[in-house]
Amino acid sequence: DQQVKQNSPSLSVQEGRISILNCDYTNSMFDYFLWYKKYPAEGPTFLISISSIKDKNEDGRFTVFLNKSAKHLSLHIVPSQPGDSAVYFCAARGQGGSEKLVFGKGTKLTVNP
């Protein structure tokens, strides 16, 4: 049972445009959400996070939006750059008080020059 879902396995955008990566979750106990970027053969790199008491968090080109009623969050990258090409994982924490992260399957983003 996948509690964190990233329904788009891949996304391709043009350099300079906006990239929007989506994530849905089923467990309302999650209290903290994170986005990680991952290159092949490397560990996930933390990008940005948001707690369940907020609906938006911004850091430079990256903005995460949280819609609790829809159990949906999204990562916006503006403007997209070729170096952003990687697999992006959505993760959630807090199920039953646990600190473990539950990951989605990931979305492979390709930013074309």
Partner 1 sequence: AAGVIQSPRHLIKEKRETATLKCYPIPRHDTVYWYQQGPGQDPQFLISFYEKMQSDKGSIPDRFSAQQFSDYHSELNMSSLELGDSALYFCASSPRTWGPSGGTQYFGPGTRLLVL
Residues that bind partner 1 (CB under 8 A): 31-32, 34, 36, 41-46, 49, 51-53, 89, 93, 98-106
Give me the least distance between CB of 99 and partner 1, in Å please. 6
Q: Which is nearer to partner 1, 38 or 79 (CB)?
A: 38
The candidate with the shortest Cα–Cα distance to 75, out of 18, 21, 111, 112, is: 21
State how far the Cα of 77 lies from the Cα of 98, in Å rounded to an integer.
29
Give the three-class secondary structure for 96.
Answer: helix
Give me the least distance between CB of 61 and partner 1, in Å please. 19
